[in-house]
């Protein structure tokens, strides 16, 4: 097993200049600690593209990861660290999803790294829409937060343009499907986003922040933030 991983790592390094994304072990992430540790691999974007076709990922997540269905997330341009972590959590059963868990259960560590590299390399497509009143209200919350409620700005972790933070694994949110964002924020508010997450420990700091922030948002505010993130680009 050790020899196989060494060979895979060396092979991936040869292609690193063209189509690979360096990924860290799952133990270095900052979400929840329910998934088992995985060895460090280099994701091969070309192989990830092939695997995405074999797994029919486009059927839900859209061509090149640009979802056309409001309840399914776009993956194009998402940072690889976040994607790896989420696939590991789905595979481990720590993130409930009747649609994704059976698929994730079949993925190897190499598959996960390669799929993440593929989607991270894609270009996200945001709709060319002017913000309506709902999105404008969401913009204020996203960019400035609400100090009176100790509500931090979403931009402080997810970036002023919604680009996320690859170094910390904070996900990109720009151009994201609004109904998916609403469902995700509601799940954070209800503490149901992850089924087996431990609620203590430094590895869960960001998760606890999301639980706390989402719980302070009203349903109207969740809708407005989701509407604003949809048109960010």
Query: 3-class SS at 152?
Result: coil
Question: Considering only CA atoms, which of 57, 66, 52 is closest in space to residue 115?
Answer: 52
> What integer best gives the mean pLDDT of the chain?
82
pLDDT at 204 over 70: no
**DSSP β-bridge partners for residue 26:** none
Place 130 in a pLDDT band, splitting at 50, 70 and 90: confident
CATH architecture for residues 133-231: Orthogonal Bundle (1.10)
**What pLDDT is stored for residue 175 in this prediction?**
94
Residue range 188-201, pLDDT digits in tens:
999 998 875 544 44
Rounded CA-CA distance 112/23 in Å is 10
CATH architecture for residues 2-120: Orthogonal Bundle (1.10)
Give the other-Cβ count within 10 Å of 73's Cβ. Answer: 23
Of 233 and 138, the structure prediction assigns the larger pLDDT to 138
Asked if residue 63 lies in contact with residue 87, where contact means CB atoms within 8 angstroms, the answer is no
Question: Considering only CA atoms, which of 39, 52, 37 is closest in space to residue 7?
Answer: 39
* Domains 2-120 and 133-231 equal at CATH topology level: yes
Rounded CA-CA distance 78/60 in Å is 16
Q: Where are the domains of the chain?
A: 2-120, 133-231
pTM for the full predicted model: 0.79
Rounded CA-CA distance 27/108 in Å is 17
Burial of 58 (0-12, 13-18, 19+ CB in 10 A): middle
């Amino acid at each position: 097993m050790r020899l196989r991983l060494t060979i895979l790592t060396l092979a991936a390094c040869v292609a690193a200049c063209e189509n690979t994304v360096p990924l860290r072990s799952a133990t270095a992430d900052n979400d929840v600690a329910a998934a088992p540790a995985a060895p460090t691999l280099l994701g091969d974007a070309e192989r990830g593209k092939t695997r995405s076709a074999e797994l029919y990922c486009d059927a839900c997540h859209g061509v090149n990861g640009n979802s056309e269905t409001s309840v399914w997330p776009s993956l194009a341009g998402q940072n690889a660290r976040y994607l790896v972590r989420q696939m590991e959590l789905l595979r481990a059963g720590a993130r409930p999803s009747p649609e994704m868990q059976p698929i994730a259960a079949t993925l190897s560590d190499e598959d996960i790294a390669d799929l993440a590299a593929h989607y991270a390399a894609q270009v996200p497509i945001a709709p060319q829409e002017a913000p309506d009143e709902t999105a404008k209200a969401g913009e204020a919350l996203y960019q400035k937060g609400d100090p009176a409620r100790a509500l931090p700005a979403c931009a402080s972790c997810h970036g002023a343009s919604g680009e996320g933070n690859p170094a910390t694994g904070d996900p990109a949110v720009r151009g994201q499907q609004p109904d998916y964002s609403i469902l995700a924020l509601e799940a954070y508010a209800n503490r149901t986003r992850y089924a087996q997450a431990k609620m203590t420990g430094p590895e869960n700091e960001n998760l606890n922040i999301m639980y706390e922030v989402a719980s302070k948002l009203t349903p109207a505010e969740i809708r407005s933030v989701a509407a604003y993130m949809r048109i960010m680009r």
